[in-house]
């Protein structure tokens, strides 16, 4: 029997009119673990500065833990620095003396006996007109005799002379103390009418300048030699420190530390050694100056002069401390770099 159209079969489940849901996708598990992140430049600089500060303080504390041995090392550095610094001070005083001698380097033009005082003044004006002349001073015959008697102490012996045998003279201060220029000036002055003779003696000035040049070279040579001595002292001390911390260095290098990281505390130790040696050198120089100042002053006073030993000023002290610190740093750098090349982490 046919079913009527549009009727459902008995027992059939009614169709749902709701839309079917889309199949759910499996959820991805959340990512766990470390993620790579590029640090900022400012963070790296702050970390670098913190490590430098920490290594500087740590190296200083290590030096303080063993004061006697480290003080002896600094004293050896100070002794190596004292002699070049003392020669430097001596050369400074010699340069000051050379400047004073340059001011005292003069020519003396002796006039003819027949020249009277008015004529002598005219000749002085002609001499001062030369472009190479910086200044002149006329010494009359009477003043020359008085100075001669006072310097030799023979007033009674020369008081019976009827006539004054000394002529008028003109003391000439040249603008340059170059020997060739002064010799040319002396020849021009000798050609002036009324000038009998021109005396020029620069041999002692040349000898002093040669001695000053020799002293400069000796000071530089000694400075280089004693500077190498400071490098050896600091380098040997840092080498022993590296050997005592060899296991620590190997462990640090195993976890990825660079040579610069390992080298940093030893560099600060070398700089502290150099700085301490410079401070002790300044103390030794001050002590030596105080010890020798009285005998030197008494010796200069016995010759009718005043002289005091030179002292290091602020600039000189800063240069000495900077050089000593730099030498200590350089000695440490050479020693550590040499030994780090031989250390291989196992």
Q: Tell me the pLDDT of the chain (346 aa) as tens digits.
A: 445 555 555 544 455 445 555 555 555 555 555 455 556 777 778 877 887 888 888 888 888 888 888 899 999 999 988 888 888 787 776 565 555 555 557 788 888 888 888 888 888 888 888 888 888 888 887 777 777 667 666 555 555 566 667 788 888 888 777 777 888 888 888 888 888 888 876 666 677 777 777 877 887 888 888 889 888 888 888 888 888 888 888 888 888 777 788 888 889 999 999 999 999 999 998 898 888 888 877 876 776 556 677 788 888 889 899 999 999 999 999 888 887 777 665 5
Which residues lie below 8 Å from residue 333, measured CB to CB, with a gap of 6+? Answer: 263, 267, 270
pLDDT for 53 equals 87
User: Would you identify the CATH topology of the domain 106-201?
Assistant: Alpha-Beta Plaits (3.30.70)
CA distance 282 to 313: 11
The dihedral over CA atoms of 271, 274, 278, 279, expressed in degrees to the nearest 10, equals 60
Domain ranges of the chain: 54-101+206-340, 106-201
DSSP-derived secondary structure letter, 111: E
CA distance 55 to 57: 5
Kindly give the residue spans of alpha helices, DSSP state H, lying in the chain: 41-65, 67-104, 117-128, 141-152, 155-158, 179-190, 203-244, 246-254, 259-302, 314-340
pLDDT for 34 equals 47
Tokens encoding 280: 């002790």
Q: Are 288 and 83 in contact (CB under 8 A)?
A: no
């Amino acid at each position: 029997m046919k079913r009527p159209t549009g009727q459902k079969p008995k027992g059939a489940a009614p169709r749902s009119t709701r839309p079917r849901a889309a199949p759910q996708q499996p959820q991805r598990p959340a990512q766990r673990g470390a993620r790579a992140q590029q640090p900022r430049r400012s963070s790296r600089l702050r970390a670098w500065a913190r490590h430098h500060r920490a290594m500087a303080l740590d190296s200083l504390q290590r030096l303080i833990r063993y004061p006697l041995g480290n003080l002896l090392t600094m004293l050896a550095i100070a002794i190596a620095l004292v002699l070049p610094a003392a020669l430097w001070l001596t050369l400074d005083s010699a340069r000051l003396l050379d400047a004073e001698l340059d001011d005292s380097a003069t020519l003396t033009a002796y006039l003819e006996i027949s020249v009277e005082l008015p004529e002598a003044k005219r000749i002085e004006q002609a001499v001062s007109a030369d472009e190479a002349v910086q200044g002149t001073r006329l010494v009359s015959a009477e003043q020359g005799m008085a100075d001669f008697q006072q310097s030799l102490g023979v007033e009674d012996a020369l008081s019976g002379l009827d006539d004054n045998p000394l002529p008028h003279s003109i003391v000439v201060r040249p603008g340059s103390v170059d020997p060739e220029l002064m010799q040319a000036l002396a020849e021009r002055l000798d050609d002036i009418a009324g000038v009998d003779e021109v005396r020029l003696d620069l041999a002692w000035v040349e000898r002093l300048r040669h001695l000053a040049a020799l002293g400069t070279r000796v000071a530089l040579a000694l400075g280089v030699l004693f500077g190498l001595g400071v490098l050896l002292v600091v380098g040997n001390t840092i080498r022993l420190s590296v050997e005592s911390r060899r296991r620590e260095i190997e462990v640090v290098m195993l976890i990825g530390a660079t040579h610069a990281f390992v080298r940093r505390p030893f560099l600060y130790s070398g700089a502290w050694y150099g700085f301490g040696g410079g401070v002790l050198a300044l103390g030794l120089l001050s002590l030596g100056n105080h010890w020798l100042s009285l005998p030197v002053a008494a010796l200069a006073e016995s010759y009718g002069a005043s002289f005091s030993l030179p002292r290091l000023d602020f600039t000189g002290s800063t240069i000495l401390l900077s050089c000593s610190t730099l030498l200590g740093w350089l000695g440490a750098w050479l020693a550590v770099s040499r030994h780090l090349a031989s250390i291989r982490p196992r």
